[in-house]
Amino acid sequence: MGRVELARTPAGRLVALKTLHSRLASDARFRERFRREVAAARAVDDVFTAAVLDADTEAELPWLVSEFCAGPSLVDVISALGPLDSAALGTLGAALAEALAAVHAAGLVHRDLKPANVVVTHDGPKILDFGLAKGAAEADGEPLTGTGELVGTLGFIAPEQLGREPEAGPAADVFAFGALLVLASTGRNPYGSGTAPQVLHRTLHEPPCLLGVPDAEWEGFLGRCLALDPADRPTVAEALEWCAERAAALPWWEEEPVAGLVREHEEATAELVAAQEEWEDEVPEAFRVPGAPGSGDVPGAPVDVPAGPVDVPPHPQSPPRRRRFLAWAGAAVTAVGGSTTAAVLLLDEGARSQEKAAPVAWTAGRTVWSRDLESSPAYGGEVLRHAEALFVRTDSRLTCFDAASGEVRWTFDDAMNIRSVRPSEDTVHVLWQAPLGSVVAALDAKSGARRWETRPLVMNPFRRSATNTPASELEGQSAHLTVDGSVVCLVTHSTPATLWEQRTEPDRRWRAYGFDARDGRPLWHRAGTVTGVPAVHQGGGRLAVATSERAVSVREPADGPLVVLRDRDGTPEREIPGGSAHPEAHPGATGVRHYPGPAAVAAVDLASGERRWSRPVGNEATVTPTATDGLVHTGDWGDLRALDAATGHQLWVRTDVRRLDDSEGTPPLVSGGLLYASGSDPSLPADSGRRSTGWGVHALDARTGKLAWAVPVPRLSRVRSAAGGGLLHLCVDRTLLTLRGPGAA
């Protein structure tokens, strides 16, 4: 509708000056809309709304002067604080409800409450922009929106505003109020992101996503605020009372870091105005703006920045500081009624080049579906993607989901201590610990029906019974399950890590078993030495058993011999001294695989066992085992890197993101040309001092390292993840989320 500029009254008070665009001032429809905006804003009087000080709606260029609000936007505040807890959310909700009560008391409905229309000052949140407000009963004349015309902001528009004859009553503001509080407490819009039709469809036909709100009470309250039927929503008075009961004793805008952010904006505004007064005489006359039209109360509007390059005389003093630059960039100036931002300061190119980069725009992905789990896979479980299925394993349950829709296909929970899952073609092999030893079962991948199941290992016909046998002849508590072609292999072992384990599992040897993959029939058994087995690999008709007499980690790989057996009959083929560091390198293996070491990653030719190259990295780095599109990716606690798979040369490095799943030994997750990482709010400048990798998910272009899209995910820790088919699946504690980039089907 117009332009908003920072101005000063004759008494020296800073104000926001809004003028209607000249091309619209002659349009009776737009002029009438401006009249109603002024009337609406003047009728509202509350500490949490911006006050209108003066206006002239009949001037040649109609204008309005309102209180200037210096402070960060609500979006910036949430980025600094992270998702709000119950007390902070109650404080915010009470302030916004009080402001809406004042709006409704004036007989108005705001109709466009959203984060962009809330700025946080030292006095608290201020609701801005009454440009879409209208009389609750349309008593002041004909409506300015025609039948079927959509007014509002996606994700915050009440369902009743989406009908053919929208009737936006006070309940519509309660709906937007609820959506805003969900965003403030979770970092996500309750109706997701995507195209306008997608968001509108969810608003009308799907329940809001309240995953991540502080607790069940908030979930119930916000669910009522977002009810489809306006009659089911609480009134603003009820919302105010509910939020006030849970509000913190001290408002969070009076504490750090928000108080500091507000001070920065106030100081930036003061510096900006001082610089403007000093430079006023140096700005070419052609770029000056005359006084506020139609009134002598606001003399001399600030300088506007013309389009295109401008030659500005260099300023004689030192370049402006960072805060001044942010003010110039529009980050510090927010004004009531603003559908545009203020531009009040000119900087020469030399000064601009010495400033640090401002926040950059970024593309948001979206949540496709989410589910709550009964228990978390973060402690010994896993998340696997195979074909169109997603498998989530916890200690006592295996669940198969449809990866695209989140529909549960089947569950397997009639066995305790599920240890391992290996999907292959149309079969899923599962290993669990039974009282008499490990058991392997084959499940139908589509239905979960059990096809076959082995007897406990102590009853295996290829070894003698465990009855009246010494403890050293029993199975160890650790096991590895592998499947390749027609043979299923199982290796058990014991690696005592405590005195109790040493006493209860003395001198137990590793044991290997082979089963027919078609019916589970036992094929063979082989007993090894008294040693641990950190890894096994099956391929090329061989089973390779890596052995080690000590516990191993990413920083200290196995150093024992690699025992190679024929997987069809268990016949020993050879033993490779020191070969356990590279268990996939054995006779019958082909290709190149990448391994982490104490301070380097290495590329190893699997057929020969020779090292092709080695690259120094961090001590806790992991590496993608195989190359993707000629690239290898490594990650440790402080960075992510891309290496050329042929030479090991570094192509790029990012120190502001880290692996999405940071459990020991987990490599970076790469799928479909994207590298998934944990990162900070990409809207913040790199040197803001408020960056936190726990903000959410970053999807990086695997070849360039540049951000493709991002999604905020609250409490991003203890993550287990998988990807495939353009989808990212991650389990955060007991919440299973599926994310997708923008524009994807």
What value does the mean pLDDT of the chain take?
Answer: 78
| pLDDT for the residue 239 | 95
CATH (residue range 421-578): 2.40.128.630
Task: List, for residues 13-45, the tens digit of each pLDDT value.
Answer: 888 888 877 777 777 877 787 787 677 777 777
- How would DSSP label each residue in 185-249? HHSS-TT--S-HHHHHHHHHHS----TT-SSHHHHHHHHHHT-SSGGGSPPHHHHHHHHHHH--S
Tell me how far apart the alpha carbons of residues 186 and 83 are, in angstroms, rounded to a whole number: 5
Q: Where are the domains of the chain?
A: 71-254, 360-414+590-745, 421-578
**Which range, 2-16, 321-335, 557-571, has the best average confidence (pLDDT)?**
557-571
Q: How far apart are the first and last CA of the chain?
A: 35
Is residue 235 scored above 80 in pLDDT? yes
Nearest C-alpha neighbor of 242 from the set 37, 98, 111: 98
Q: Which two tokens stand for residue 351?
A: 């000064």
Return the higher-pLDDT residue of 677 and 335.
677
Among 305-314, 539-548, 608-617, where is mean pLDDT lowest?
305-314
Tell me how far apart the alpha carbons of residues 9 and 628 are, in angstroms, rounded to a whole number: 63
Is residue 597 scored above 90 in pLDDT? no
Q: Side chain identity at 360, as an amino acid letter? A: V
Tell me how far apart the alpha carbons of residues 398 and 375 are, in angstroms, rounded to a whole number: 11
**Which range, 261-270, 315-324, 399-408, has the best average confidence (pLDDT)?**
399-408
CATH of 360-414+590-745, one of 2.40.128.630, 3.40.50.2000, 3.40.1360.10, 3.20.20.240: 2.40.128.630
Is residue 326 scored above 50 in pLDDT? no
| pLDDT for the residue 464 | 59
Place 153 in a pLDDT band, splitting at 50, 70 and 90. Answer: confident
Tell me the average pLDDT across 559-571: 93
| pLDDT for the residue 506 | 60
CATH of 71-254, one of 3.40.50.10800, 1.10.510.10, 1.20.80.10, 3.60.20.10: 1.10.510.10
| Active site (catalytic) residues | 112
Q: How many helices (H) and strands (E) does the chain have?
A: 12, 41
Is residue 351 scored above 60 in pLDDT? no
Q: Which long-range contacts (CB under 8 A, 24 or more apart) does 609-612 make?
A: 609/576, 609/579, 609/582, 609/585, 612/648
| pLDDT for the residue 283 | 41
| pLDDT for the residue 152 | 65
| pLDDT for the residue 305 | 30
Tell me the average pLDDT across 360-374: 85
Tell me the average pLDDT across 159-183: 83
Q: Is 99 helix (H, G, I), strand (E, B) or coil?
A: helix
Return the higher-pLDDT residue of 346 and 671.
671
Domains 71-254 and 421-578 share a fold: no
| pLDDT for the residue 682 | 86
| pLDDT for the residue 285 | 43
Tell me how far apart the alpha carbons of residues 122 and 148 are, in angstroms, rounded to a whole number: 40
| pLDDT for the residue 211 | 84
| pLDDT for the residue 655 | 83
Tell me how far apart the alpha carbons of residues 241 and 101 are, in angstroms, rounded to a whole number: 12
Place 417 in a pLDDT band, splitting at 50, 70 and 90. Answer: confident
Question: Rounded to two decimals, what is the model's pTM?
Answer: 0.54
Place of tokens 């001044």: 324
Return the higher-pLDDT residue of 177 and 549.
177
Share of the chain above pLDDT 90, in %: 37
Task: List, for residues 485-518, the tens digit of each pLDDT value.
Answer: 899 999 998 865 444 455 555 677 899 999 999 9
Phi first, then psi, for residue 654 (nearest 5°) are -125, 125
DSSP category for residue 73: B
Cis, peptide link before residue 170, omega less than 30° from 0: no
Q: How many CB atoms lie within 10 A of CB 101?
A: 19
Q: How many CB atoms lie within 10 A of CB 200?
A: 18
| pLDDT for the residue 266 | 84
Task: List, for residues 435-469, the tens digit of each pLDDT value.
Answer: 777 899 999 999 999 999 998 887 778 775 555 56
